[in-house]
């Protein structure tokens, strides 16, 4: 494990359900707000219809918002204001994660399909904002959402990332494929991922499978410091 990560200088983290556990229920909350937005702004009365549209856009574009922009011309700020008005109190401060992030060699980045404001609020809740060097948001990606390869290329350009020295942590399996194609190592945050979101990928498709991110990072650094190479 340590051999593969020994030369890592770019630590790239997805935000939601990666830096905090999926059990916090934030995705469920934002999903509900998204459906409410769809029903209200697109004048859809039926819950199922709103959910079907949401899922289709998520599947086709990596992010529901991208479908809403392309097909309905929604106002991005209006969408963000509505969907990201979230109760984040279920996200607890994580001193273990802060400590593990603090000692990683190189740059620590958040790569998210959400806006910067949301990322900052989440990092504040975790008490990990000072340990993150950069946030690459959906605006930085010019709304090319993960898993669009263009998003990864923009991140690499903007932050001068050497992909061969990068590792990406992410809970949505398909979002790791472009990272791997570009030469990054991949670490899948295994959660209770519904089968349809596995997109035919299995644990063998990733360099690492991670259950406890803070523990994984701490072990990785400790192994390198002690020169363990097996
Ligand atoms: Mg995520």
Distance 107 CA to ligand 1 centre (A): 20
How many A from CA of 29 to the centre of ligand 1?
A: 14
Segment 96-125 shows an average pLDDT of 97
Distance 79 CA to ligand 1 centre (A): 19
Q: Which residue has the tokens 């000072």?
A: 130
* pLDDT (tens digit per residue) in 15-74: 999 999 999 999 999 999 999 999 999 999 998 999 999 999 999 998 899 999 999 999
Intrachain domains 2-20+92-225 and 26-83 with the same fold: no
> What pLDDT is recorded for position 226?
66
Dihedral (Cα; 203, 208, 212, 214), 10-degree rounding = -160
Best mean pLDDT range from 4-18, 52-66, 161-175:
161-175
pLDDT band at residue 227 using 50, 70 and 90 as cut-offs: low
Alpha carbon of 20 to ligand 1 centroid (Å): 9
pLDDT band at 1 (very low <50, low <70, confident <90, very high): very low
Hey, where are the domains in the chain? 2-20+92-225, 26-83
% of the chain beyond a pLDDT of 90:
87
How far is the centre of ligand 1, averaged over its atoms, from the C-alpha of 17 (Å)? Answer: 5
Q: Cα(228) to centroid of ligand 1, in Å?
A: 31
Confidence of residue 172 (pLDDT cuts 50, 70, 90): very high
Q: What is the mean predicted confidence (pLDDT) over 185-196?
A: 90
Fold of 26-83: DNA polymerase; domain 1 (1.10.150)
Residue 179 neighbours by CB distance under 10 Å: 27
CA of 225 from ligand 1 middle (Å) equals 30
Look-up of token digits 């701490």: 218
How much distance in Å is there from the Cα of 162 to the middle of ligand 1?
23
- Stated length of the chain: 230
Beta-sheet pairing, 166-170 with 10-13 = parallel
Q: Check residue 104 and report its DSSP letter.
A: -
Task: Compute, in angstroms, the gap from residue 28 CA to the centroid of ligand 1.
Answer: 12
pLDDT at 230 over 80: no
- 94 pLDDT more than 60: yes
What Cα–Cα distance (Å) separates residue 201 from each residue in 12, 41, 117, 188, 226? 20, 35, 31, 11, 34
Which CATH class, in words, describes the domain spanning 2-20+92-225? alpha beta
Cα(111) to centroid of ligand 1, in Å? 10
- Mean pLDDT in the chain? 93
112 C-alpha to center of ligand 1: Å? 8
The Å distance, Cα 113 to ligand 1 centre, comes to: 8
């Amino acid at each position: 494990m340590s051999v593969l990560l020994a030369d890592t200088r770019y630590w790239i983290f997805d935000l939601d359900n990666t830096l905090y556990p999926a059990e916090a229920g934030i995705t469920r909350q934002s999903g509900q707000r998204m459906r409410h937005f769809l029903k209200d702004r697109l004048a859809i009365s039926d819950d199922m219809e709103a959910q079907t549209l949401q899922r289709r856009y998520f599947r086709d574009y990596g992010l529901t918002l991208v479908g809403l922009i392309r097909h309905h011309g929604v106002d991005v700020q209006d969408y963000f204001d509505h969907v990201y008005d979230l109760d984040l109190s279920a996200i607890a401060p994580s001193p273990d994660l802060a400590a593990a992030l603090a000692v990683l060699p190189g740059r620590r980045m958040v790569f998210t399909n959400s806006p910067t404001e949301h990322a900052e609020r989440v990092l504040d809740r975790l008490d990990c904002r000072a340990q993150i060097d950069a946030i690459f948001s959906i605006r930085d990606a010019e709304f090319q959402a993960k898993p669009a390869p263009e998003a990864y290329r923009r991140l690499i350009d903007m932050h001068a990332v050497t992909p061969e020295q990068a590792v990406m942590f992410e809970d949505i399996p398909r979002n790791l494929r472009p990272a791997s194609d570009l030469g990054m190592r991949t670490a899948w945050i295994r959660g209770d991922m519904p089968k349809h979101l596995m997109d035919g990928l299995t644990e063998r498709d990733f360099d690492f499978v991670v259950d406890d991110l803070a523990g994984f990072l701490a072990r990785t650094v400790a192994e390198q410091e002690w020169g363990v190479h097996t």
